[in-house]
């Protein structure tokens, strides 16, 4: 069979990362270092197969689009509350496969009385709980300390993973090993004071609580909280952009309920 093979170099060894054939477009790939090679074999050429077309780029930012990269570390990004109170962080090369043998750190710094809240909207990190080296697991660790070997590791497929820092600092560490690949994670973050968090919790409860519950909330208050919590934007009473699909639907419902004459 004809194939397109991808080779990586891990600890000086050449390793085949993947072998592709058929007509399914592979997910984007990122090398773990400055070298990657591709080998095409077209021995059994057919009249119908037209081969491949690949775009490539050389990057130093791990295709992590947010935060401020610390160039003194291999892969580290800083998120300051003073610059943005909400945003999105992703694993390297997301939504493509994350590179092998790679560690990335994400440091969140809030104002003195703020905490960092995380909501992962996608999480698929190759591994077996408790995500240790013995099970050859990649992992994500979330901690309120800069150095901390005790905090829980996360791996596997997790829906709606949430975490809150103990204080105004939070660190996410992503670590992949030298075999098998995953897509990684996409995570919304927000810096909130505890008083704001209380209100946000009410909104969260309301979003899950059905129409009766929603009617009891003042619309303007809801709008402000949603904007803060989920990055929603509302123009002319119409929701034009919202980070969370579920909220989007429910809030449109809410608007229509609210607009009915009482």
Which residues from 7-26 bind Ca ion, rule CB under 5 A?
none
By C-beta, is 133 or 262 nearer to Ca ion?
133
Question: Binding to Ca ion by residue 126, rule CB under 5 A?
Answer: yes
Smallest distance, Å, CB 177 to Ca ion? Answer: 4
Give the one residue of 180, 202, 224, 255 binding Ca ion; rule: CB under 5 A.
180
* Binding footprint of Ca ion, residue count (CB under 5 A): 5
By C-beta, is 156 or 209 nearer to Ca ion?
156
Give the one residue of 76, 98, 138, 250 binding Ca ion; rule: CB under 5 A.
138
Question: Binding to Ca ion by residue 217, rule CB under 5 A?
Answer: no
Q: Which stretch binds Ca ion (CB under 5 A): 3-11, 67-75, 91-99, 119-127?
A: 119-127
* Residues 179-192 as b or e (16 or more Cβ within 10 Å = b): eebbbbbbbbbbbb
Smallest distance, Å, CB 167 to Ca ion? Answer: 31
Strands 76-80 and 68-69: antiparallel
Q: Which stretch binds Ca ion (CB under 5 A): 45-53, 141-149, 151-159, 175-183?
A: 175-183
Question: Binding to Ca ion by residue 129, rule CB under 5 A?
Answer: no
Question: Binding to Ca ion by residue 114, rule CB under 5 A?
Answer: no
* Alpha carbon distance 18, 108 (integer Å): 35
Q: Sheet of 68-69: strands edge to edge?
A: 68-69, 76-80, 103-109, 169-175, 139-143, 153-154
Handedness of CA 244, 194, 189, 238 (dihedral sign): positive
Question: Binding to Ca ion by residue 177, rule CB under 5 A?
Answer: yes
Q: Which stretch binds Ca ion (CB under 5 A): 103-111, 126-134, 231-239, 248-256?
A: 126-134
Interface residues with Ca ion (CB under 5 A) are 126, 138, 176-177, 180
């Amino acid at each position: 069979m004809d194939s397109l093979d991808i080779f990586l170099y891990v600890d000086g060894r050449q390793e085949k990362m993947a072998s592709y054939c058929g007509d399914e477009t592979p997910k984007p790939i990122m090398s773990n270092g400055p070298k990657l090679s591709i080998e095409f074999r077209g021995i059994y050429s057919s009249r119908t197969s037209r081969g491949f077309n690949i775009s490539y780029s050389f990057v130093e930012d791990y295709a992590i689009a947010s935060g401020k990269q610390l160039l003194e570390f291999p892969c580290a990004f800083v998120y300051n509350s003073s610059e943005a109170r909400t945003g999105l962080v992703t694993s390297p090369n997301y939504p493509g496969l994350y590179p092998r043998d790679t560690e990335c750190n994400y440091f969140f710094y809030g104002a003195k009385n703020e905490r960092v809240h995380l909501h992962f909207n996608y999480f698929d990190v190759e591994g077996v709980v408790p995500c240790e080296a013995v099970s050859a697991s990649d992992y994500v660790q979330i901690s309120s300390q800069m150095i901390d070997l005790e905090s829980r590791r996360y791996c596997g497929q997790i829906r709606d993973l949430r975490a809150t820092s103990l204080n105004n600092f939070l660190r996410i560490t992503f670590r992949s090993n030298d075999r098998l690949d995953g897509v990684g994670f996409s995570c919304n973050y927000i810096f909130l004071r505890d008083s704001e968090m209380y209100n946000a919790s009410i909104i969260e409860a309301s979003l899950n609580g059905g129409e009766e519950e929603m009617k009891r909330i003042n619309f303007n208050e809801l709008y402000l909280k949603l904007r803060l919590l989920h990055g929603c934007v509302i123009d002319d009473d119409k929701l034009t952009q919202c980070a969370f699909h579920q909220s989007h639907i429910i809030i449109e419902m809410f608007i229509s309920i609210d607009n009915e004459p009482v």
